[in-house]
Amino acid sequence: MSQAQEQTHSQAQASPAGQSARTDGRAPYEDAFQRRARADAAARGTSWSKPMPARPVVAVAGATGAVGREMLKCLDKLHFPASEVRALASARSAGTRLPFGDGELIVREMTPESFAGVDIALFSAGAGVSRQMRQAVTEAGAVMIDNSSAFRMEDDVPLVVPEVNPYDVAWHNGVIANPNCTTIQMVVALQPLRALGHIDRIVVSSYQSASGAGAKGMNELRTQTREVLDGEPPTVKAFQHQIAFNCIPHIDVFHDDGYTKEEWKMVVETKKIFGDDTVRVAPTCVRVPVMRCHSESINLEFDRAVSVQDVRDAIVRGEHVCLEDDPANNVYPMPAMHAGSFDTFVGRVRRDPTVDGDRGVALWVVADQLLRGAALNAVMIAQLLLPDAARTGEGEDAREE
């Protein structure tokens, strides 16, 4: 054990919280959270009694979109045991052929009748469409796994990141929400660090790619880049300002307190997923001219001393998190290198000396938000709904490819 580690352990044992450092790698708070989630679930009860078949019928609502296309790829790559996959979108796309596995799916127009016989409906067609279709989906007996912000903060809707709070799927009433992509990659990176102490405060600045605004955001970055390089005025439609060669500190609408709704989501969703109202989050969300993968600069304040080495070790042990941290050799995560990756990458791990008592740590986190922050998370939630016997190890192997 290094001097720094020894110091951390002795300080942890003498921490004001009076909790000694655990040696089993699990957060001292984790059991309490799990107990609370289960108690909450029991107290809430659930009206959902339909058992999930081992080979469910899956609908992908918004299949032609940036997230929907990735959902189809994830279902295939994770060998999700669907007996049928239906690709749904607006009337504009009816008849479009989408690649799926070794074949193709023909897109159908989404109507309330589309969900007859469906067991799981993966939604990524925007909040308005999710609201319109919720009743039809659940009345058809399908569980809606929704990527939009429509239902995330509703009391009877679990907000799930499988590495953090998988147990919360137990209390759904027909709808399970996928958190916002910026929140997901942050909590996946932070989850292993919760074993080191309570995270009291998070200061996060995001660098969000154009694909966060869907297919139209990607098209706008391509078009504007050409326009600007050709000396033409950029055509601004998808974002508030020119995105090519620019940064826009404005994602979603502004609230009265000066924060944007995107920033508000990071605050409230983190608390709900962690089951921890005491964690304080100070976010700034910025759109940057990157095609794919969101990046985040994160400063953490723990309730006790935490060594940089302990943070690195915890990340290495974390689920679906990779440490990429060798500054001497210019190694750190970057969005251009991780498009298409399932994992969340962490680098630039260092002391934040502005927090007293060795309690501050700074990190840099990168993930493909279309996958980790949306499509993959949704398909992993769907895996949690399968009966135990249907959850084979095959999907996990495929995930590592």
- Active-site amino acid positions: 181, 294
What angle is formed at CA 147 by the lines to CA 144 and CA 152, rounded to 5 degrees? 85
The item of ligand 2RA, ligand NAP, none sharing an interface with residue 89, based on CB under 5 to 8 Å by kind, is ligand NAP
Question: Contact positions toward ligand 2RA, by CB under 6 A?
Answer: 180-182, 208, 212-213, 251, 262
Q: Please report whether residue 65 would count as binding ligand NAP according to CB under 6 A.
A: yes
Residues 179, 180, 185, 186: what is their CA dihedral angle, to the nearest 10 degrees? -90
User: What's the CA gap between 383 and 380, in Å, rounded?
Assistant: 5
The item of ligand NAP, ligand 2RA, none sharing an interface with residue 62, based on CB under 5 to 8 Å by kind, is ligand NAP
Instruction: Identify whether the C-beta of residue 182 lies closer than 8 Å to the C-beta of residue 373.
Output: yes
Restricting to residues 350-379, name those near ligand NAP by CB under 6 A: 369-370, 373-374
The alpha carbon of 371 is separated from its chain's Cα centroid by a whole number of angstroms, namely: 8
Cβ neighbours of residue 4 closer than 8 Å, sequence gap 6 or more: 307, 308, 309
Q: Coil, strand, or helix at residue 145?
A: strand
Q: How far is the CB of 109 from ligand 2RA (least distance, A)?
A: 24
Q: How many CA atoms lie within 13 A of 6 on its CB side?
A: 3
Q: How far is the CB of 68 from ligand 2RA (least distance, A)?
A: 13
User: What's the CA gap between 297 and 333, in Å, rounded?
Assistant: 11
The item of ligand 2RA, ligand NAP, none sharing an interface with residue 208, based on CB under 5 to 8 Å by kind, is ligand 2RA
The item of ligand NAP, ligand 2RA, none sharing an interface with residue 251, based on CB under 5 to 8 Å by kind, is ligand 2RA
Q: Which of 158, 192, 212, 289 binds ligand NAP (CB under 6 A)?
A: 212
Six token digits for residue 88: 């749904």
Q: Please report whether residue 114 would count as binding ligand NAP according to CB under 6 A.
A: no
Q: Of the two residues 288 and 311, which places its CB atom closer to ligand 2RA in the complex?
A: 288
Q: In 158-198, at which residue ranges do the beta strands (DSSP E only) sit?
A: 175-177
User: What's the CA gap between 278 and 269, in Å, rounded?
Assistant: 13
The item of ligand 2RA, ligand NAP, none sharing an interface with residue 127, based on CB under 5 to 8 Å by kind, is ligand NAP
Cβ neighbours of residue 82 closer than 8 Å, sequence gap 6 or more: 55, 56, 57, 58, 75
Residue 308 pairs in a beta bridge with: none
Q: How far is the CB of 238 from ligand NAP (least distance, A)?
A: 9
The item of ligand NAP, ligand 2RA, none sharing an interface with residue 215, based on CB under 5 to 8 Å by kind, is ligand NAP
Q: How far is the CB of 53 from ligand 2RA (least distance, A)?
A: 31
Q: Which of 148, 191, 206, 341 binds ligand NAP (CB under 6 A)?
A: 148
User: What's the CA gap between 190 and 185, in Å, rounded?
Assistant: 9
Six token digits for residue 287: 């759109």
Q: Which residue is nearest to ligand NAP (CB)?
A: 65
The item of ligand NAP, ligand 2RA, none sharing an interface with residue 35, based on CB under 5 to 8 Å by kind, is none
Q: How far is the CB of 186 from ligand NAP (least distance, A)?
A: 13
Q: Which residue is nearest to ligand 2RA (CB)?
A: 212
Map residues 180-209 to x or -, x wherever contact with ligand NAP holds by CB under 6 A. Answer: -x----------------------------
Instruction: Identify whether the C-beta of residue 254 lies closer than 8 Å to the C-beta of residue 243.
Output: no
Q: How far is the CB of 213 from ligand NAP (least distance, A)?
A: 7
Pairing of strands 294-302, 199-208: antiparallel
Six token digits for residue 232: 């033409």
Q: Of the two residues 12 and 181, which places its CB atom closer to ligand 2RA in the complex?
A: 181
Q: Return the DSSP state at 91.
A: G
Q: Please report whether residue 224 would count as binding ligand NAP according to CB under 6 A.
A: no
Backbone CA torsion sign across 285, 287, 292, 295: negative
Give residues in contact with ligand NAP (CB under 6 A): 62-68, 89-90, 92-93, 110, 124-127, 129, 147-148, 181, 211-212, 214-216, 369-370, 373-374
